[in-house]
Structure 1
Amino acid sequence: MPIRSPKGRGAAYRVFWQWPLRSPARLFGCVVALLALAIGANAAFGLLPSKAERGGVFGSARHAAPGSSGTAPGATGLAPTEGQPNRLPPVAELTPRALPPAQAPPAALTVAAKWTKAWAHHPPGTSTASWVTGLRPYTTEEYLGVLSTVDPANIPATAVTGPARATVVAPSSVRVQVPTDAVNLVVLVVNTGGEWRVAGYDRAETANTR
């Protein structure tokens, strides 16, 4: 019959913890049993991998790609030769900003020559609108607005007197010097997406293209 009163439960507890004290043999047996339980629990928990081990050993093996050797990121995967340090793979050379003048695109030189010829062509009485129309096929849309403010009567040259020559060459722009019967013109030609167009000019002696 179950014990229902606190007094009865207290008596039962006293019987339980007083039992080992009734003889030395019982006390020794209880101590040995407790030690055996402690050693067994410690051994059981010691066999389980820790959190760091699960993340470091098993986690790396789980996430490694099939056939990979487990090398660190950025490593080549090859063991270094004895006596030689690890070396990074060679890096491709960057494209230089300035190129030799001989590498100037022929299309850029042609546009500069044709533009300068149209620039120098302004018979007396030529209007600004007519002059700009002759320059339009070789000029960027943005620079046409600047040219529309120029009076052709103020242009000193009347003809081109020599071939166009590249002075500064870059991957997307070329400065071209074109001689005329009045001044040596420096023309800036830019690549507008497959087509070369003039985006500025100045006299050679100033070497400062607008």
Structure 2
Amino acid sequence: MPIRTNRGRAAVYRRLWGWPMRSPRHLTVVVFVVAVLVIATGILVPQLTGGDKPGGPAAAASSDNENPTTAPSTPGTTNTPGVTGSASDLPTRITSVPSAPTSAPPDPAALDVADSWGRAWVNHPEGISNEDWLADLRPFTTEEQLTEMATVEPGNIGATKVTGEPKAVESFTSSVQVELPTDDGNLLITVIDTPDGWRVAFYEQVS
């Protein structure tokens, strides 16, 4: 039956507004319904207004963050992804050619070492072992060269004596190449300056 008077309508409104306060259960129901309505509104309104559509402002901002624009290159800078700074921050490349060894008169001590080494080299009595042969050469030889000579069989060396004086072929401040004659051809001996003094670092037989 329709309510036709203002007093009747007011009574109905008071009853509706007072219903939640009649008991805790009624209040809980009202709070739950209101919460559901708020959540539904938060979900439906953005969908209806297109706020989360692809291509919207939020998507554009995300795209800008994921694909940063590479700055245009300028002289003296590098554009390597993830790397910033100028090319001057990189280590300087060496463009100059290392200087050649400095020539110098042969050191008499270097010639003496070459001569002593040569006399130990030709001293290989029959039956001498490689170890004993190298022991005589050790005071005049670098450790690297001794390792190379560890496979040499002394009995296969044809020279048995030195037949002349050592002669410098090339001479620098830190190395001297010496020619030493033997009864089985000449030895070309390279002597270098080490912390322990002049030592033989290389040799070869020449005609």
**TM-score, with length taken from structure 2:** 0.50
**TM-score, with length taken from structure 1:** 0.50
**What CA distance in whole angstroms lies between the structure 1 residues aligned with 2:170 and 2:188?**
10
**Residue 124 to residue 194, structure 1, CA distance change in 2 (3 Å):** closer
On the 8 A contact 1:163/1:178 being kept in 2, the answer is: yes
Letter in 2 for 1:124: E
How many pairs align? 109
**What CA distance in whole angstroms lies between the structure 2 residues aligned with 1:98 and 1:154?**
38
**What CA distance in whole angstroms lies between the structure 2 residues aligned with 1:109 and 1:96?**
22
- Is there any run of 5+ residues in structure 2 with no aligned partner, and where? 1-98
Letter in 2 for 1:135: L
Partner of 1:186: 188
SS at structure 2 position matched to 1:107: helix
Letter in 2 for 1:99: S
**What CA distance in whole angstroms lies between the structure 2 residues aligned with 1:201 and 1:98?**
22
- Aligned sequence identity (%): 45
Quote how far apart the aligned CAs of 1:203 are: 1.6
Per-residue CA deviations over 1:143-192 (Å, capped at 9, x if unaligned) read 11111110001111000010000001111111000000111000010000
Of 132, 137, 141, the match for 1:130: 132
Of 80, 98, 103, the match for 1:99: 103
Partner of 1:149: 151
**What CA distance in whole angstroms lies between the structure 1 residues aligned with 2:162 and 2:103?**
26
Partner of 2:59: none
**What CA distance in whole angstroms lies between the structure 1 residues aligned with 2:127 and 2:195?**
36
SS at structure 1 position matched to 2:121: helix
1:1-210 to 2 correspondences below 5 Å: 97-99=101-103, 103-193=105-195, 195-205=197-207
On the 8 A contact 1:112/1:164 being kept in 2, the answer is: yes
**Residue 98 to residue 197, structure 1, CA distance change in 2 (3 Å):** same
**Residue 122 to residue 167, structure 1, CA distance change in 2 (3 Å):** same
**What CA distance in whole angstroms lies between the structure 1 residues aligned with 2:156 and 2:108?**
30
What stretches of structure 1 move > 4 A for 4+ residues in a row?
Answer: none
Quote how far apart the aligned CAs of 1:125 are: 0.5
Structure number with greater Rg is 2
Letter in 1 for 2:161: A
**What CA distance in whole angstroms lies between the structure 1 residues aligned with 2:100 and 2:106?**
14
Letter in 2 for 1:118: A
SS at structure 1 position matched to 2:178: strand
Letter in 1 for 2:147: G
CA RMSD in angstroms, aligned pairs only: 1.5
